[in-house]
Structures are given as C-alpha cells and as structure tokens.
Amino acid sequence: MFPGVKALDNVDFSVAKGEIHALVGENGAGKSTLIKILGGVYYPDDGEILIDGERVEYASPQAAMGAGISIVHQELNLVSYMSVAENLFMGKRPPRNGVGLVDWKELHRKGREMLTVVGLQDLVREPVGQLSVAQRQLLQISRGVSFGAKIIVFDEPTACLSRSEVENLFKVIRSLRDQGTSIVYVSHRLEEIFELADRVSVLRDGKMVGVVKTQEATTQQIINMMLGKEMVSEGHRVSCTGTEVLLKVDGLSSNNGVENMSFELRRGEVLGLAGVVGSGRTEVARLLFGIDRVTKGTIVLDGADLHPNSIRKAIRAGMALVPEDRHHDGLVLNMNIKENITMVSLKDFARGGLIRHAREGEVVRNLIGSLSIRPGEAGRLTKYLSGGNQQKVVLAKWLAGKQPKVFIFDEPTQGIDVGAKAEVHQLIDNLARNGAGILLISSDMHELLNLCDRILVMVRGSIVKCLSREEATAGKILAYAMRKENKAQHA
C-alpha cells in the first residue's frame, strides 16, 4: 500500500456486536492505517473484512458507510459553510416536496429527529463552521447512525475536548453500544480506555500483539504489550530552579481574552499552566510569541524589555513556542523531516554564508534518535509520518538551533505514545537543567504534577491560583480550574 513500508502485517482484528473495543499502540504502529482500511480510505493489499459473517468489499468511504462502517476521523470531513442539517443529508437523498425541490421543513424536522440521539437537535440550522470540535464529532456520529452504521470507529476523538465534553461523548458512545452498535476506539490515553472499553487490542510495528479484556488487564500490562518491553514508571522530576528571574510578565492584557496576567519564570524552572479548554492558556502563549497583540502590560525577558509584535522578534529575543496544533502551525507537510527540523534554525548552521551540512546532518540525526522519530530517515516527507511522529518533528524543530531562553510547550505530548512521552519529559528536564525557563501548558495531570515546579491555574484569561509542587494535587488543580466566580487577579 505504501511503497517500502509494511504498515500492517497480517493483522486479525474483530469487534463483537454491542462492544466497545479499544485499539492502542505506539506512534506509527498502524492504528490509523487499520482504521482507514476499515473506512474505505485505503484498499488492503491482502486480507478480507467480514461484517455479520459476510464478506464485504468496498473502495470508498461512501461505500464503507453503505456496508455499515462509519468513521469519526480526527480531521472531520464536514462542510463548514453548510448547515448541520445539510451536512447530515450529504451523500443521501434529501426529502423532496411535490414539485421535486428540497423540502426544507421536512429536512429540518428529520434532522432534529436524527440529532436527538447526540443532543444537538437545537443546532439543526446552524452552519457547521459555528460548531465546536466536540459538536462536530457528535454531528459526525449522528450522520453515521442515520446511515445505519453497525460499527462506528473513533480515531483519538478526545484530543481537543474538555472534560465535560469527553463525558458527554462517552455517554453517547455507551448508549450506542447498549443499542447494539459496535465501537472501535483509538486513543493514547489509557485512563480513558479503562473507563470505556470492554476489550483492548494492541498493535506493535504493524502486527497484532494481543487482545485483552479491560477488566482483567492492568495499565502496566498494556504498556508492556505496546512497547514490547518493560517501562519503568516516571517519578517526580528533581527541581533545578535557579534564583535568577528569566521572564517577568506584568499586567499582561490583550484582545484575545487574556486579562491582567502577572507571573515570573526563573532560570531552570518548569512552570505549568493549567486550566480547562478555553481558559486562555494558548492565548498567553500566542501573546508571548508575538502572534497576537499585547494591549497592556510588560514582558521582560532576560533583563530586556520585549514587545513581541512579531514572531521574528520573539524568536530573536530567545523565545520558542511548540504549538498545540501541529498540522496548522508547526509542520510543512510537503517538506521532509530534515527540512522541517532545520527550518527556523538554518542560520545557526551557517558560517560565512555557507550552510555547514555535516553539522546540520548530525544535529538532525541526534534529534531523530533522541525523540525516536520513526521512520528515522531525514529525507522522508512528513506527510507520510503517523500523527505522533509528526508531533515529534515539530518538537525537534525548536530544539535544533541555538538555545532559546524560554520554551513554551503547548500540549507537547498530545497524541504521543507513552514511551515517547517519557522521552519528551526527559528532554524538557534537560532543557531546564541547561538553564532554560519552561512554560508548560498541559491538560495531562500526571505531566503537570511530575514535571512542574509551580503550577498556575487559569480561568477565563486570568490566573486564579499558583500552586507549589508540594501543594499541587490533581484534585486541587481541577477544583480551581472549574471555579467560575471569584476571579483573583494575581498569582
């Protein structure tokens, strides 16, 4: 299927009726490939698919839907300028009136009915562009249900959802299962799998390693199956915070929702930014990095005033941002691994106007190794990498050049498997040890608690609490993050 790559090798996989079946594996193990075959995006070179014991064959997503398989991809295939109802009927015959025109009243009535399953009935006339990611997923699900899906497949559905949206999604998934639909669920979040799935199948290097019942398995056991070896669990990072203030932010405000933020980041410190989706964490990153405009307040970086009104200026001052959205902000899909990695730091490899290719090659090789980017060929186009490996290339890009002073990581391990996650954590620790200051935006509680020296909790654009590592617990962070009133001004 992919020349020279055996993405899947003789994989057997089965889902029972009315079962939630999780599919896990390292980055590049073949999960998305398997799903795309089930969904009619790719055609398998060998093997067969049976539904209700009958052999089915199809060569397009439409045909897969017809056979009863519906996929909720991460990149959602909806048309954003059309309404919810129109998207629902896309690829289907809409109801017609007496003269053969689309009967809009009937279309909206039917639409409402179909959307009730997922609780979106009131949005039937809304353009899809107005919907949140969570709502688009729900729409995608009800589209599947309306096509009579017997199997609904999810590829990392919760990556961009808040906790309450996750809970709502799980409720919908469980009710579908209880009505006899089969669910295939791909995720790197093992907690979710234990919460939701009846069984788990583990893929490694394109081969099926095994299937276990969730109730009879432990997290460690599944991790070991994924990695093919034991993984020692990570402990608390040893702090290396210096005394020198590296970044001082005072009264920062903006039009993008940040309000009067003040905090200090010391050399060698890992400072966490916690908060629910929409609390303004990414917006802070965008301000510091010169993407959005600061309307009030000051930023002092390493003793010098910084007015980051452009990204170039922020980079020159020593700021690095590893963005959350790797497809839009971080990666040029039509360039290869090496070109992506050295894109921002190319001048650091130059001497007298010439690029020192040997040095450049060595840095790239080292980063490919230390982040275990796979396949590790510098010349491979990044569009052919699995999602998690693309994320690693974005990380590598910021680590290639002259050392930035402050790193902002926005959800650095989202979509990254457990093994590589530990490597990213190691890397963040190394950066801090070498004297950088780290601002870590993360929704992963373990990550925040294990890595951070202090954690700022944000609600609606302001800091409501600063927790030291001694005080911080997952419960406290959540309690502050969910607090609606009582907005404090300072940390």
Ligand X SMILES: Nc1ncnc2c1ncn2[C@@H]1O[C@H](COP(=O)(O)OP(=O)(O)OP(=O)(O)O)[C@@H](O)[C@H]1O
The residues binding ligand X (CB under 6 A) are: 2, 5, 7, 25, 27-33, 375, 384-389
Query: Can residue 387 be called a binding residue for Mg ion (CB under 5 A)?
Result: yes
DSSP string, 237-288: PPP---SSEEEEEEEEEETTS--SEEEEEETT-EEEEE--TTSSHHHHHHHH
State the residue for tokens 């929409």: 278
Q: How many residues does the chain have?
A: 491
DSSP string, 25-59: ESTTSSHHHHHHHHTTSS--SS--EEETTEEE--S
Q: Would the CA dihedral through 195, 201, 202, 205 be positive or negative?
A: negative
Closest CB to Mg ion among 61 and 290?
61
Query: Can residue 32 be called a binding residue for Mg ion (CB under 5 A)?
Result: yes
Question: What span, in angstroms and rounded, lies between the C-alpha atoms of 166 and 402?
Answer: 40
Contacted entry of ligand X, Mg ion, none for residue 7, CB cut-off 5 to 8 Å set by kind: ligand X
Contacted entry of Mg ion, ligand X, none for residue 252, CB cut-off 5 to 8 Å set by kind: none
Distance of closest approach, residue 74 Cβ to Mg ion, in angstroms: 8
Note whether 414 and 363 are within 8 A (CB).
no
> What does the per-residue mask of binding to Mg ion show for 197-236, with x meaning CB under 5 A?
----------------------------------------
Contacted entry of Mg ion, ligand X, none for residue 389, CB cut-off 5 to 8 Å set by kind: ligand X
Distance of closest approach, residue 102 Cβ to ligand X, in angstroms: 37
Distance of closest approach, residue 407 Cβ to Mg ion, in angstroms: 26
Query: Can residue 330 be called a binding residue for Mg ion (CB under 5 A)?
Result: no
Stretch that binds Mg ion, among 25-33, 87-95, 146-154, 223-231 (CB under 5 A): 25-33
Closest CB to ligand X among 140 and 414?
414
Judged by DSSP in three states, 186 sits in strand
Question: What span, in angstroms and rounded, lies between the C-alpha atoms of 420 and 426?
Answer: 10
Query: Can residue 70 be called a binding residue for Mg ion (CB under 5 A)?
Result: no
Closest CB to ligand X among 112 and 380?
380
Note whether 310 and 286 are within 8 A (CB).
no
Element (H, E) at 478: helix 474-481
Closest CB to ligand X among 185 and 480?
185
183-199: b or e for each residue (b if 16 or more CB lie within 10 Å)? bbbbbbbbebbbebbbb
Contacted entry of Mg ion, ligand X, none for residue 399, CB cut-off 5 to 8 Å set by kind: none
Query: Can residue 391 be called a binding residue for Mg ion (CB under 5 A)?
Result: no
Please give the residue ranges that form the binding site for Mg ion (CB under 5 A).
32, 387
